[in-house]
Amino acid sequence: MRLFISLLIINFKLLRKTSMAKEKEKSPQEGLQENKLKALQAAMAKIEKDFGRGAIMRMGDENIENIDVIPTGSIGLDLALGVGGYPKGRIIEIYGPESSGKTTLAIHAIAEAQKAGGVAAFIDAEHAFDRFYAEKLGVNINELWISQPDTGEQALEIADQLIRSSAVDIVVIDSVAALTPKKELDGDMGDNNVGLQARLMSQALRKLTSTINKTNTTCIFINQLRDKIGVTYGPSETTTGGNALKFYSSVRLDIRRGTAIKDGDEPIGNETRVKVVKNKVAPPFKKAEFDIMYGEGISKIGEIIDLGVEHNIITKSGSWFSYKESKLGQGRDAAKRLLKDNPELCEEIEGLIKEAIRNKKN
C-alpha cells in the first residue's frame, strides 16, 4: 500500500513538472495574447447581454444569426442586407430625397409580407397613399389595414396598439416628418416648437422597441432629408425627428435616385441606389442597385439580368446579352423585353442565380 501511494506521489510530481515546463515554454507575447483574447470574449459577452445579439460583430462575418425576414422585393437588396430581407422584430428606417423610391420600397415589403400570409398595416401620416399604385406593386388592398391619423401622438399610439396585438407582421409609418405633435397643431403659425417632434419620437421609440421585439413585428419608418444650415465639414444633410430613430433602428437604408431610364425621349423609370448605412444583423455599408419603373415598382427582370451577368449565368459580349446558346437581345432594354415576354425563361435564370448565391455563401 505504501509503495502504491509513493508511486502516485512520484507521478503527480512528474505531471506537475511537465505542466510547469510547458507554461515556461510560452513566450510572454503568447501569454499577453491569451489574456487579451479572454478579456475580449468577456467584453463581447457583456455587450451582447446588455445590448442584445448583433450589437457587435466581426466585419468579415456573413450571416451572424438565423432570423426571420420579410423579403424586400429586390434580390440585390436582400443580398446587401445579409440576411435575405428586413429582419422581423426590428425597426427599419428608409430615408432619402423626394421621389427617390422610399414609399415604393415600403409597399414592396407589404406585398412580400402578404404573399407569405402575413398581416400588414400602413399608417399614412402624409395622407398621400395611392391604392392603385400599391395594387400594381402586388398589395392586396382588401387585406391591408390603413390609418390616416390627425396627430403624431395618434399615429404612434395606433402603431403601438397594432404591434401589441401580436396580430400584425409589418407596420409602415409614412412618414416621420409628417408626425406633427398635437401642441404644434393647436398653436399658431410661427410659434416656436423646437424639439417637440424629437421628444415625441424619443418617447415613442422607448415604448415601441421592446414590444416590436417581443411580437416579432417589422416596423418600417419612412423619413425625409433636410439640409443642415451653415455646415462646412461633414454631411450637409440630416433626417427629421431627432436622433432617437437613428439609435433604435436595426437597419437604416439610404435610397437615392440615379439616371433616368427612357423609352426614346420619354422617361419610364429611374436607376436607384440603396446603401445599408446601419445594420445590426449583418455587416453594414453594402450597396444595391436596381431599376424602379414608373407605375410598376422595382424591375425584377432588370436585376435578374445584372445579377446573371455578375454570376456568369448570362453572358455579355459587347452590347449583346446571351443565355446558354440563345441571344437575349442587343442592349439591356432589349434583353429585359425578351425576358418579360418569356416568364418561364426568366424564372429559370432567377433559380440559377439564387442557387449560385447559396453556393457562394456555403
List strand residue ranges (DSSP E) for the chain, in order. 69-70, 86-87, 91-96, 120-124, 144-147, 170-174, 218-227, 237-239, 251-263, 266-279, 287-293, 297-298, 314-317, 320-323, 326-330
Lowest-pLDDT range, 21-30, 122-131, 299-308? 21-30
Q: What is the pLDDT of residue 16?
A: 62
- Whether the predicted pLDDT of 23 surpasses 80: no
pLDDT at 228: 85
Q: Is the pLDDT of residue 12 over 90?
A: no
pLDDT at 189 over 90: no
Determine the average pLDDT of the residues in 212-226: 96
Q: What is the model's pLDDT at position 362?
A: 63
Report the chain's mean pLDDT, rounded to a whole number.
Answer: 88
Q: Which three cell numbers stand for residue 87?
A: 429582419
Q: Residue 91: its pLDDT value, please? A: 97
**Beta strand pairing call for 266-279 and 320-323:** unpaired
Which pLDDT does position 55 carry in this prediction?
Answer: 75
- Give the tens place of pLDDT for each residue, 51-89: 777 777 776 665 545 689 999 999 999 999 999 999 999
Q: CA nearest 323: which of 295, 303, 304?
A: 304
Lowest mean pLDDT among 24-33, 146-155, 286-295, 317-326: 24-33
Which band of pLDDT confidence, cut at 50, 70 and 90, is reported for residue 234? confident
Question: What cell was used for 239?
Answer: 433626417
> 2: pLDDT confidence band, cut at 50, 70 and 90?
low
The values of phi and psi at residue 323, to 5°, are -125, 115
CA dist 351 and 35 (Å) reads 48
Distance CA 107, CA 129 (A): 10
SS3 264: coil
Q: What is the pLDDT of residues 97-107, one digit of tens each?
A: 999 999 999 99
**CB contact set of 135 (below 8 Å; sequence gap of 6+):** 141
Nearest to 73 by CA among 41, 27, 105: 105
pLDDT digits (tens, 9 = 90+) for 302-338: 999 999 999 899 999 888 999 988 889 898 889 998 9
**Is the pLDDT at 178 greater than 80, yes or no?**
yes
pLDDT value of position 194: 80
Separation in Å, CA 253 to CA 145, 215, 242, 339, 343 = 24, 23, 17, 29, 30
Of the candidates 53, 94, 59, which has an alpha carbon nearest to the alpha carbon of residue 272?
94
pLDDT range class, residue 21, cuts 50, 70, 90: low
Give 28 or 330, the one with higher predicted confidence: 330
| pLDDT digits 0-9 by tens, 257-307 | 999 998 888 999 999 999 999 999 999 999 999 999 999 999 999 999 999
Weakest-pLDDT range from 111-120, 190-199, 211-220, 284-293: 190-199
What does pTM read for this prediction? Answer: 0.80
Compute how many other C-beta atoms are within 10 angstroms of the C-beta atom of residue 154: 16
**What pLDDT is stored for residue 24 in this prediction?**
52
Q: How confident is the model at residue 355 (pLDDT cuts 50, 70, 90)?
A: confident
Q: How far apart are CA 293 and CA 306, in angstroms?
A: 16
Give the chain's domains with CATH numbers: 69-187+194-298 (3.40.50.300), 300-361 (3.30.250.10)
Distance, CA of 217 to CA of 78 (rounded, Å)? 18
